[in-house]
Chains A and B, each alone.
Chain A
Amino acid sequence: MTSPNPSVFLLMISGQIEGAQFPEYDDLYCKYCFVYGHDWAPTSGLEEGISQITSKGRGSTQSLVWNFPLDITFKSTNPFGWPQIVVSVYGPDTFGNDVVRGYGAVHIPFTPGKHTRTIPMFVPESTSRLQKFTSWLMGRRPEYTDPKVVAQGEGREVTRVRSQGFVTLQFSIITKDMKKLGYDTTSGEQAPATRLAGTEQPYRS
């Protein structure tokens, strides 16, 4: 499969949404989706997912653990529009209504290897006190029209958000043909190591 002149590079992501820190909330689940540019296309794996509901551990650690696997492979011709993962967390409120507990997004790491990312989560705020109260009462808090909004900057200036907690993600990244296409994401010191690791070199015709 290795061609001397690749036209695309591949970004293989496997990892997991490890868990979250939401000090005030319990019984949360999360959704994820990927946001990527025009030049990107998923070749395999799931672009979207929804996790199980997790409860807080009995122990002293107040973290919510999902360990929800991510596995997706992208192909692309252009690093522009590098994929981002958007995670949104939902859970029941006092009245049992399912409300959003946080949105967050992070770029997929671009260096091969294992990465852990902790992303701060936030939710949009109600525009007024009264609305805050009614939304609390009715269990319909303000939500983004599209969670993918959090992965882009356009139009965000009109929103006000409140921070909520953290979600920890873990990625294991493999890239293929990036270097052949001229994108060197490894730093200078690591270069020899990756050359050893990558077996592409000997097969070059």
Chain B
Amino acid sequence: MSTPSDLRDKLRKKRRALQESLGKVKDDTQALVPSDSDVTKENERTAVEKLTGRGDDPGETLRRSLKAQRMKKKKKLLEEMSMEGPPEEEMVNEEITAVQELQHDQEEHSVETLAEEGRSVRLQRDLPPLPVARADSSLSESSMRQRMREKLRVARSKAASLLQQEASLEQPSHLRGPRDRETLTRFDRETDLDVHEEESSFAARVKFRDAARKATRDKRTETGLPTEEEAYKFFTFNFDPEPQESRRKDRAKKKTRSTDDEENEGEEDEEEEEEETGRARAREGEDESRERDEDAPLVRDEEEDLFIIDQSAKDFLELKKADYIGYNRRVLREREIFFTPSTRPVPASCKLPENVQPRYLEDEGLYVGERPPVALSNQNILENRILKEDGGKKWFGDDGRILALPDPIKESSSRPPLYHLEEELDPALQTVYRKPLKSKYVNRYIAGVGDTQGDYQLDVDVSGLIFSHHPLFSKEHVLGARLAQLYDQYLSRQHKNLTCLLTDKLNGLRNTIRNMLELHSGEGISHVTQQRIAEYKQEVRHTRQLRDTEQEKDRTLLKSIIKVWKELKSLREDKGCTNTPYKLYIRREEIQRALDEQEQEAEILAEVAELQAESEEDYERKLNEYKRKHEEWKSWKKKQKTLKKKQKQRRQQSQDVDEEEEEDEHSEEELGEEPVKPEAPEKPDIAGLEQQVREKAAKIRRKPGEPVLVPELTASNPITPNEACPRGEISRREDVSKRSLFVKVLYNDKEVSRTDSRSLNMDFRVHFGQIFNLKIVNWPESIKLQIYEGVSSSSSLIAEVCVPVPESSVLTGSTPSEELEFSSNQRVTFNHEGVGSDVPVSFTNDGSNIQTLLTSGKLSCCVSWAVGEDDIPLAPPSTQHGAGMHSGLRQMDAIACIGASGLNDMKRLGKWAAESRLDPNDPNNASIMQLLSVASGGEVVAPDYFRLEQLQEEFNFLSDEELERSRRFRLIRLRSQEEPEFRNFKTIPATEREISEKVFEEYDRRLKEGEVIDTKEHIDAHRALVAKYLQKVRESVINRFLISKHHYILSDLVVEEEVPSIGGPGQGVLGLNLFKLAEPKRPLKPRRKERKKVTAQNLSDGDIKLLVNIIRGYDIPIRKPHTSKPAAGSKGARSYTETFTAASTSQTALQASEWPLGQPVIRPFVEVSFQRTLLQTSTAEGPNPCWNEELVLPFSAPNGDYSTSSLQAVRDEVFISIFDEVLHDVVEDERERGSSVHTRIERHWLGSIKIPFSTIYMQSRIDGTFKLGTPSVLLGYSKERSLGSEGGYDAIRSLSEGTFLTLFITIEPQLVPGDSIREKMKDVKFDTQEVERLLLACEIFEKDAGQRYPDRPCVTTVVDINGKTVFITRFIRPLPPPQELLDAFPNNSQEATELVVRYVSLIPFLPDSVSFAGICDLWSTCDQFLTLLAGDEEEHAVLLCNYFLSMGKKAWLIIGTAIPEGPTAYVLTQEQNRYLIWNPSTGQYYGQHDTFCPLQTVGCLVNADNVWFNIQLYATPIRMSFDVTKPKFWKPFFSRSFPDPGLSSVQPEDLVYRRTDKAYAAELQDRIEKILREKIMEWRPRHPTRWNRYCTSTLRQFLPKLEMSGGREVAEEHRLELQSLLGDYRISGFPLHLPFSEIRPIIEAVYSTGVHNVEAPNVEFALAVYVHPYPSNVLSVWVYIASLVRTR
């Protein structure tokens, strides 16, 4: 690099040169500006720009005085700087300065800095600006400056980048990037720079500043930048020598560039370039970039001269308006670029060649296919577009339309229909399943590709090809080629010189034999030696034969060469021209005749001698053979004779025996074949032998003394030039010259490259000499070379050559190129001299010697693996090279392991190894030997099993036993199995030691329960067994339904609006909602809002509350005065009619007499207990109280699991009990009576209702009036009502007896009931034995019913306990009830019926939804039901219905809904034109018109024959008809169109009842009593519990009576009895009647009565239990409990 001063000088020079050329540039700008401005600019900047044009003159003047001024300025600046230049300024400089300083002369730098600072100082003095001074010149200058700044910036950045390159330092100027959008040439900038320096005279500057300020201000107002004042302050406080820096950068730039120039080009170039830039600018003017150019300088100015501050973010941002090009302008511009084909039809004349009329083929009667439909506009567009293109007309047919094939789409399917319902599928169309095949190229990627060393490269070297025959061969060529071929053959033979070798070998062998014989001199030849000699002789013979054939070949070859040459010569003469350069010379090598003859003679003699010896040997051998055979033959003959004799004898003896005959035949067969009689061998003819040898020698060898002929083929013959050739030949040659050839390289059947096409030479050799480097990713499968021959533009495939994939050891550079032969069987004929291909050609003039030649030749090429730069072969490792063999297989392919790929045949390998006599001790062969030993020992055994996850063992970090033992894993596993104990187990401890064994205790116990029956819990062994069985059924059913539980349907996951249907019940979203919109709003008629349903997932304890609204009660028993009279006579015989009317009236009468009106006879309140929470209402008065209170009970789910399934499994029940609040005056001291009130509150249980939570959950609300479960006897109370007040209402009410309570129960918030599973169950198909047709009909029936009456349950199929779908009528079948029940009242069918009903109701109730947690409703048959002794409404109803049927009643099963059970089953009977509705689980019956019948809707009726669906208007029993024969009211399932197919029942023929075990019942009775006693004492921890034995024994006597009467109407009698016995006790008590299932419900029931709560000090208790056994272990449990308070 030159010194700075040099550079500077250069720069100066250059600048001067630039100055001179500036004028031109200026003019350019001037010229451009006006045109530009009037087109686009509408803002203020345009004005500035206009001024620029006018202000050119001052710029020129300034330019002229540039040099002087600058010198002056510098001096001035220096002076100023010395006065006030603060040294910090340099520090403020950006890094860029520092960078440049590295390059710059220090002194100069400082001068420059000062200069700039001086300017900035002056600038300060300029302020405040003169707004008036808006002179043209200054403005022009400003705009000039602006532009200059722009350029400057570019230059700066460029300089910086240059610097960066040079100094490779961090370069901050890139920050300016955004500004440097204007990519102008650097020379431009230089010219401007000069101007800038010129104009830096002081006066001009002042003006200029003003103008600049103006512009700035304008700009500011636009952009919202700080006001002038702010700016002023801003500027005065900080200044920055940044402009100077930029200038310095220019310098630097120039300097650096000038250094470049020095090296590269002269300065003159720059001037030229500058002109170019001038032009560039001119062009630029057209562009929109001009805009940027114009507005940018304003900012620049500010920055450089006004904002002498550090660059802030604002400086880098440029704010400007978005570019907008006027629409018309844009359209104009786009028109130049775009072509928009019009949609107008193209006139036919454009589409056809000139003066051609369109020709319509249809009109000419030709068939023209239907064209595919194309929109006319699209077609027009296409035509327009095509016409625009070159040669577009070829797309149009004769008729002026676009050429089109007929519409390929067939209207009807061309494929034969595949599925015929009945017929077998056409075997040809049968689907064939094939095993999946791995894609060919999957896993064929070479491992490690993509790694650095992983790129493999194949070099395919296509060096050239030679045709051995080509269609364009002339005959001479054919011959020439044959000659050449023969000569090649000759040469190669000569090279191998086999004849000579074999002769030598023969001689050597002969010598050895001779030597051996001589050595032993004929005597004492050992056996070994003899053997060896024989071997040698054999060898000699073999070698001799070989030599003879070789010699013969040599001879014939030579002959044929000469023959072909002769033919060639004659052909040349014939044609008169020469096409091939071949010329054969034959050299003659004279040999000494005598010697030669001698040698030959000796040879012949030796041969003859050998042959003689051999033939003698042969004769000997044959003779021996003959002798042996002859002997055999003789012996055979003898045998034959003897045999024949024997046979004859036998035949004479026994002719009848078949077996023997067979034997005979057999033996005959054995001897049947007669050996050929051997013939004696001939003696060898010695003389003949010699003759033979001589003849042969004459044929295959030179004649003795004949010179040796050595052919020599040269290509020296001159070829006749074209002019001298005959015409045919000329045209052939022309044809040849037209041909060109190229070779395509195909890798894995994909073309990867092709050679250049080379023209065919006269000698039919093509040289390509091209090497293709293939970077490969896939394993090489095949490499193919395809040879194409082209005439002019078209080309055709001649032949394909497969190149073997090289071994990985084959590397480029070390491999010779191979010659691969190819041939083609294309038939080619010519009408010129070319012989063609696959065409018979005759080579002689007479037409004989016809040959058919095929195009063939040799392609010389070479495929090898490339060698990398550092001599690393770019070949994949050889072990991987298995041509896509699977890695797993490769392990077994031992041969591949040793690298001998391709040798897959074990036998062949063995053979090869044996033949080649491998040295077993050579370590190189070790692997092969090993392999062979394996091979000889048997096949290489590949494992004949297949193992999945063979690495599983590796991952087992623990043995299974250990894993089993781990408590933590057990816990996790059990939780995952959703065992009930662990279902929601939270936070399983992290470590083993934190888990105690206790966690599992409960679970283990439950598991054990399976085997051991816990008698304590179940009391009854049978019950325990049943419970166990139930448990098992439950488990199996749960497992069966687990799938369906986890089977989701869309509505479970996605909330979606229903499909809107117009009208229709329920969800006519569109129809109804539209009407609703039109409906007027009626604020006084509030609508019931649907409560929002809450999914149970995100709930926690305390979120759910049970709301129980107690509204009112009816007919609550009233207290009785102590002094009561004996009741009216007992009711012995009753009838149904009586029970409803007579009973109550009698009581009414009784009561009326006893109580005066208006006396408070009872103070009832309601207590609700749920989950051990007790809440009670306030106390009301009277037998028909009204509470109207809401009780809120909290609900908590078990384990805090609020999922639907767990909520459904909640077994808790809501107990709603009515108590009487009895106040006892307990004031002991009579004197205090006046002043204080001492009362004891006693509560007496009157009755209760229990509602299972599951019912509430499923129903979501329970609303209605319910009958209270009252004890049949209430001591101290009478079930009588006051008449007077409610006379009119009494009539209706009296229809039924009992106490009633009106309730409303719901859950807050409303939970989504878990019926979704039930819904889903419909989707899940169960196993079934029903006919498909029936099921289909069921589906249709149910669907239809559901659509018409969605609120009426319709059941046609049910799921039995085995999880199979069964048609419902199959469950109905008359079944006899236990005989003893019928025998109990032999005369009174009424009583018997009631007993049967009672029996059924005594079977414990167990809802399905509890046992099979919300899975589905299962129906069990009656025998299953009786065995299980548990079931829900359906089972009870079915059993009762069956009993009724067997008792000769007309009975139906009612499927409907009731309160509080929800969907349920009742039984309907027809008795004397009245319908009775039986509740099977309570044993209650109701008349059809009973108001308090819990049955709310009747869905369908079922009997053994049919199912009827209720299609009446109303579904409540009161308002409907039960006459199923009326099709208007009932829709039968089996009708005339679908008759009953005669379904057999699933019920057993007969029920087997076990005898009741009285002793067992007594035992159970004792145990229950004992347990209850203990419990009551337990519940009274603070008080002593005394038992009144007398009372107890009395009560015990009553209980059987109660049982006998069915709990009815015995009350009065025994109450009186009691009264008499315990006159001085105030008794309150009642008998509880329960079916027995477990002891727990009994305890619960006793607890809920609250008898134990009596806290009077002198209270005594009485408890009696009676268990009455019924057949089949149905037990009726009576618990009589009473509290006695002594009144005295």
Chain B positions 1098 through 1111: 1 when the CB is less than 8 Å from some CB of chain A, otherwise 0: 10000000000000
Q: Does chain B have a CB within 8 A of A138?
A: yes
Q: Does chain B have a CB within 8 A of A44?
A: no
* Residues of chain B from 1055 to 1096 with CB closer than 8 A to chain A in the complex: 1055-1057, 1059-1060, 1069-1070, 1095
Other-chain contact of B990, A78, A138, A157 (Cβ < 8 Å): A78
A155-B1052 contact given A41-B987, A76-B987, A131-B1057, CB 8 Å threshold: yes
Find out whether the CB atom of B1054 lies under 8 angstroms from the CB atom of A145: yes
Q: Which of B85-93, B528-536, B1043-1051, B1535-1543 contacts A (4 or more CB under 8 A)?
A: B1043-1051
Chain A positions 56 through 74: 1 when the CB is less than 8 Å from some CB of chain B, otherwise 0: 0000000000000000000
Q: Which of A19-27, A120-128, A167-175, A190-198 contacts B (4 or more CB under 8 A)?
A: A120-128
- CA of A134 to CA of B1071, assembled, Å: 13
Q: Does chain A have a CB within 8 A of B963?
A: no
Q: Does chain B have a CB within 8 A of A9?
A: yes
Find out whether the CB atom of B990 lies under 8 angstroms from the CB atom of A181: yes
- CA of A155 to CA of B994, assembled, Å: 35
Find out whether the CB atom of A78 lies under 8 angstroms from the CB atom of B972: yes
Find out whether the CB atom of B985 lies under 8 angstroms from the CB atom of A149: no
Residues on B with C-beta less than 8 A from A16 are none
Chain B min CB distance to A205 (Å): 17
- CA of A146 to CA of B1054, assembled, Å: 8
Residues on B with C-beta less than 8 A from A134 are 1057, 1060, 1069-1070
Q: Does chain A have a CB within 8 A of B872?
A: no
A80-B972 contact given A7-B990, A39-B988, A148-B1097, CB 8 Å threshold: yes
* Residues of chain B from 970 to 1008 with CB closer than 8 A to chain A in the complex: 972, 975, 984-991, 994
Find out whether the CB atom of B991 lies under 8 angstroms from the CB atom of A39: no
Chain A positions 117 through 160: 1 when the CB is less than 8 Å from some CB of chain B, otherwise 0: 00000001011101100110010101111101100001111110
Q: Does chain B have a CB within 8 A of A114?
A: no
Find out whether the CB atom of B972 lies under 8 angstroms from the CB atom of A145: no
Residues on B with C-beta less than 8 A from A97 are none
Residues on A with C-beta less than 8 A from B1097 are 146, 148
In the complex, what residue of chain A is closest to B986 when comparing beta carbons? A38
Chain B min CB distance to A5 (Å): 8
A155-B990 contact given A126-B1056, A130-B1060, A144-B1055, CB 8 Å threshold: no
Find out whether the CB atom of A155 lies under 8 angstroms from the CB atom of B1057: no
Q: Does chain A have a CB within 8 A of B1133?
A: no
Chain A min CB distance to B558 (Å): 79
Find out whether the CB atom of A38 lies under 8 angstroms from the CB atom of B1055: no
Chain B min CB distance to A183 (Å): 9
- CA of A176 to CA of B1346, assembled, Å: 59
Find out whether the CB atom of B986 lies under 8 angstroms from the CB atom of A41: yes
Q: How many A-B residue pairs have CB under 8 A?
A: 89
A135-B1050 contact given A78-B988, A78-B990, A145-B1095, CB 8 Å threshold: no
Find out whether the CB atom of A143 lies under 8 angstroms from the CB atom of B1055: yes
Find out whether the CB atom of B989 lies under 8 angstroms from the CB atom of A145: no
Residues on B with C-beta less than 8 A from A126 are 1056
Other-chain contact of A8, B990, B1054, B1056 (Cβ < 8 Å): B990
A145-B1055 contact given A78-B972, A158-B1048, CB 8 Å threshold: yes
Residues on B with C-beta less than 8 A from A131 are 1056-1057, 1059
* Residues of chain A from 1 to 22 with CB closer than 8 A to chain B in the complex: 5-9
Q: Does chain A have a CB within 8 A of B337?
A: no
A154-B1048 contact given A38-B984, A145-B1055, CB 8 Å threshold: yes
Find out whether the CB atom of A77 lies under 8 angstroms from the CB atom of B1057: no
Find out whether the CB atom of B1050 lies under 8 angstroms from the CB atom of A77: no
Q: Does chain A have a CB within 8 A of B1053?
A: yes
In the complex, what residue of chain A is closest to B1046 when comparing beta carbons? A154
Interface band, chain A: 35 or more
- CA of A138 to CA of B1073, assembled, Å: 11
- CA of A46 to CA of B1645, assembled, Å: 46
- CA of A63 to CA of B1139, assembled, Å: 81
Residues on B with C-beta less than 8 A from A78 are 972, 987-988, 990
In the complex, what residue of chain A is closest to B1056 when comparing beta carbons? A142
Other-chain contact of B975, A38, A41, A143 (Cβ < 8 Å): A38
Chain B min CB distance to A58 (Å): 14
Residues on B with C-beta less than 8 A from A130 are 1059-1060
In the complex, what residue of chain A is closest to B1052 when comparing beta carbons? A155
Find out whether the CB atom of B990 lies under 8 angstroms from the CB atom of A156: no
A124-B1054 contact given A78-B972, A130-B1059, A134-B1060, CB 8 Å threshold: yes
- CA of A34 to CA of B1057, assembled, Å: 27
Residues on A with C-beta less than 8 A from B1095 are 145-146
Find out whether the CB atom of A159 lies under 8 angstroms from the CB atom of B991: no
A181-B986 contact given A124-B1054, A144-B1054, A154-B1048, CB 8 Å threshold: no
Find out whether the CB atom of A77 lies under 8 angstroms from the CB atom of B1046: no
Find out whether the CB atom of B986 lies under 8 angstroms from the CB atom of A127: no
Chain B min CB distance to A84 (Å): 15
- CA of A158 to CA of B1056, assembled, Å: 13
- CA of A148 to CA of B1053, assembled, Å: 10
Find out whether the CB atom of A128 lies under 8 angstroms from the CB atom of B987: no
Residues on A with C-beta less than 8 A from B1053 are 124, 144-145, 149, 155-156, 158-159
Residues on B with C-beta less than 8 A from A159 are 1050, 1053-1054
- CA of A96 to CA of B1129, assembled, Å: 79
Residues on A with C-beta less than 8 A from B1070 are 134
Residues on A with C-beta less than 8 A from B1048 are 154-155, 157-158
Residues on B with C-beta less than 8 A from A41 are 986-987
* Residues of chain B from 948 to 986 with CB closer than 8 A to chain A in the complex: 972, 975, 984-986
- CA of A40 to CA of B987, assembled, Å: 6
- CA of A135 to CA of B1059, assembled, Å: 10
Other-chain contact of A135, B985, B986, B1052, B1056 (Cβ < 8 Å): B1056
- CA of A154 to CA of B1053, assembled, Å: 10
Residues on B with C-beta less than 8 A from A149 are 1053
- CA of A143 to CA of B987, assembled, Å: 32
Find out whether the CB atom of A9 lies under 8 angstroms from the CB atom of B990: yes
- CA of A195 to CA of B994, assembled, Å: 27
Find out whether the CB atom of B986 lies under 8 angstroms from the CB atom of A39: yes
Chain A min CB distance to B1310 (Å): 15
Residues on B with C-beta less than 8 A from A154 are 1046, 1048
In the complex, what residue of chain B is closest to A41 when comparing beta carbons? B987
Residues on B with C-beta less than 8 A from A40 are 987
Residues on A with C-beta less than 8 A from B994 are 7
Other-chain contact of A138, B987, B991, B1046, B1057 (Cβ < 8 Å): B1057
Residues on B with C-beta less than 8 A from A146 are 1095, 1097-1098
In the complex, what residue of chain B is closest to A140 when comparing beta carbons? B1057
Other-chain contact of A39, B987, B1056, B1057, B1059 (Cβ < 8 Å): B987
A77-B987 contact given A154-B1048, A158-B1048, A159-B1050, CB 8 Å threshold: yes
Chain A min CB distance to B153 (Å): 26
A7-B989 contact given A145-B1095, A154-B1046, A155-B1048, CB 8 Å threshold: yes
In the complex, what residue of chain A is closest to B1070 when comparing beta carbons? A134
- CA of A50 to CA of B972, assembled, Å: 34
In the complex, what residue of chain A is closest to B1058 when comparing beta carbons? A131
- CA of A80 to CA of B973, assembled, Å: 12
In the complex, what residue of chain A is closest to B1098 when comparing beta carbons? A146
By Cβ-Cβ distance, the 6 closest A-B pairs, closest first, are A155-B1048, A77-B990, A142-B1056, A124-B1054, A142-B1054, A158-B1050
A-B contact pairs, 12 of them (CB 8 A): A7-B989, A38-B985, A40-B987, A77-B988, A127-B1050, A127-B1056, A128-B1059, A130-B1060, A131-B1056, A134-B1070, A142-B1056, A143-B1054
Chain A residues packing against B (C-beta within 8 Å): 5-9, 38-41, 76-78, 80, 124, 126-128, 130-131, 134-135, 138, 140, 142-146, 148-149, 154-159, 181
Chain B residues packing against A (C-beta within 8 Å): 972, 975, 984-991, 994, 1046, 1048-1050, 1052-1057, 1059-1060, 1069-1070, 1095, 1097-1098
11 additional A-B residue pairs with CB within 8 Å, beyond A142-B1055, A154-B1046: A7-B989, A7-B991, A7-B994, A38-B975, A39-B987, A77-B987, A131-B1059, A135-B1057, A144-B1054, A159-B1054, A181-B991
